[in-house]
Amino acid sequence: MGMTMTQKILAAHAGLEKVEAGQLIEAELDLVLGNDITSPVAIKEMEKMKVDGVFDKDKIALVPDHFVPNKDIKSAEHCMCVRKFAQKNEITNYFEVGQMGIEHALLPEKGLTVAGDVIIGADSHTCTYGALGAFSTGVGSTDMAAGMATGKAWFKVPGAIKFNLVGKLNQWVSGKDVILHIIGMIGVDGALYKSMEFVGEGIKSLSMDDRFTIANMAIEAGGKNGIFPVDELAEAYIKEHSKKTYTIYEADEDAVYEEEYTIDLSTLRPTIAFPHLPENTKTIDEIKDEVKIDQVVIGSCTNGRIDDLRTAAEVLKGRTVAKGMRCIIIPATQAIYMQAMEEGLLKIFIEAGAVVSTPTCGPCLGGYMGILADGERCVSTTNRNFVGRMGHVNSEIYLASPAVAAASAVTGKISSPEQW
């Protein structure tokens, strides 16, 4: 029996010729990631270990992004803890305000994640980097501490599900619609501790931003990781952004998959996840009753990249946000912010009546910059719509693509640009 992409990467980092699903291994790490919420816990755990520094100051990334710029005293103290740790250990990849961005957009942009890497992060959406052919997965803060101290982590080798993508996406349909369709199809535990491996000729029609979005939300189906093969587009992205050595792994022809699905991208429609689970999906055509909303958020580690902002601007150009509507747009990194400014996207947003925020996770986790009150509804390009996720327990979150979110901001109800 052959191995999947994920299994090949893990075998190489464990110094083994072969691994199989369910096997326990200890693997070498290429990068350990933490943010301003999870890192302080890991730092305290490291202090208990009484270790002398970190395993490699170049292979740790600390990105304060959830409550940054600090929203209150507690968040300021968390960031101070991370800042002091970074200074004490001379962490190369510590990103202060002004250089920071939303971690899962920032790290690929900075060239810290490349094909063949094993990456752990104390954030569940660390699985984003599978878009570049890396094995990346979220871990707890204690595992992050052990990783920073030793450069190693224990894994149970995951089994795999193959998603064969064929066809090509239509206008106003994006990677967000692909992954929402998949989660709606298999459920939030449909890939529990499995590697979600995306293959097929349809991948060629997906931009890198589409792929980052799809890999990012693998965890919302319960996946251990999501991963794409490294084609010319992915390799070009790596070469543009990184000087690191990378390794391309390909699944064996006789690799074992526990399930296989074929998805014709040309048949997909704009898809929205209704409260209160990402699996509770409906296409725009299936929404029969008007769903009025109070707020739109376009951003996050899922959909705050330049393609997302361009799509939102295409919809909002020459139009106005509905009266009484709040539309918050958050570029995921400083570089994306700058690019959006140079392309004139920010002018379009502001003229339409939206506000543009500094890069932050803010509203996605109910932190700040867009908290919902009792009974309010929000269309958001974020990745979770659990009860109370963005504020009051009686508020509602509808997950959608930037196109649907922007259109909904204009109409004041869940809409798609194609309906105009």
- Per-residue pLDDT tens for 354-389? 999 999 999 999 999 999 999 999 999 999 999 999
Determine contact, residues 36/78, Cβ cutoff 8 Å.
Answer: yes
Rounded CA gap, 172 and 108, in Å? 25
ω before 276 within 30° of 0 (cis)? Answer: yes
Q: What is the DSSP track for 318-356? A: T--PPTT-EEEE--SBHHHHHHHHHTTHHHHHHHHT-EE
Predicted pLDDT at 51: 87
Helical axes 306-316 vs 208-216, angle rounded to 10°: 110
Contact residues for 176 (Cβ-Cβ < 8 A; gap 6+): 213, 271, 302, 303, 381, 399, 400, 401, 402
Split at pLDDT 50, 70, 90, the class of 52 is confident
pLDDT digit string (tens) for 120-161? 999 999 999 999 999 999 999 999 999 999 999 999 999 999
pLDDT of residue 34: 97
420, exposed or middle or buried, with CB in 10 Å at 0-12, 13-18, 19+?
exposed
Confidence of residue 315 (pLDDT cuts 50, 70, 90): very high
Helix, strand or coil, per DSSP, at residue 402 = helix
Please give the pLDDT value at position 272. 98
Q: Chain-centre distance of CA 122, in angstroms?
A: 13
- Residue 56 tokens read as 């490699």
Residues in contact with 177: Cβ distance below 8 Å, sequence separation at least 6, in sequence order = 169, 268, 269, 270, 271, 401
The number of angstroms, rounded, from the C-alpha of 359 to the middle of its chain's C-alpha atoms is: 14
CA–CA gap between residue 287 and residue 282 (Å, rounded): 7
The yes-or-no verdict on residue 420 having pLDDT over 80 is: no
Residue 389 CA: distances (Å) to CA of 211, 383, 396, 397: 25, 10, 9, 8
Cα separation, 268 vs 61, whole angstroms: 37
C-beta of residue 32 within 8 angstroms of C-beta of residue 144: yes
Residue listed under structure tokens 């064929």? 166
Percent of the chain at pLDDT > 70 equals: 100
Residue showing tokens 């909904």: 408
Compute the average pLDDT of residues 46-67. 94
What span, in angstroms and rounded, lies between the C-alpha atoms of 358 and 67? 11
Nearest to 78 by CA among 57, 63, 60: 63
DSSP letter, residue 129:
G
What is the share, in percent, of the chain residues with pLDDT greater than 90?
97
Mind listing the domains of the chain with CATH numbers? 5-264 (3.30.499.10), 270-419 (3.30.499.10)
Which of 400, 417, 403 lies closest to 280 in space, CA to CA?
400
- pLDDT tens for 86-99 read 999 999 999 999 99
Name residue 419's amino acid: Q
Strand pairing partners for 329?
Answer: 298, 356
Number of alpha carbons in the 13 Å side-chain half-sphere of residue 396: 14
Residues counted in the chain: 420
d(CA 219, CA 383): 10
Over residues 339-351, the pLDDT tens digits come to: 999 999 999 999 9
User: Could you give the CA distance from residue 415 to residue 55 in angstroms, rounded to a whole number?
Assistant: 50
**Residue-level pLDDT at 205:** 94
Angle at 169 between CA 182 and CA 206, to 5 degrees: 80
- Using pLDDT thresholds of 50, 70 and 90, give the confidence band for residue 117: very high
Residue range 213-226: mean pLDDT, rounded: 97
Spatial distance between the Cα atoms of 281 and 275, rounded to a whole number of angstroms: 9
Start-to-end C-alpha separation, the chain: 52
* Mean pLDDT of all residues belonging to the chain: 96
DSSP 225-278: EEE----HHHHHHHHHH--S--------TTB--SEEEEEEGGG---EEEPTT-T
Cα 268 to Cα 199, 280, 315, 376, distances in angstroms: 17, 16, 20, 29
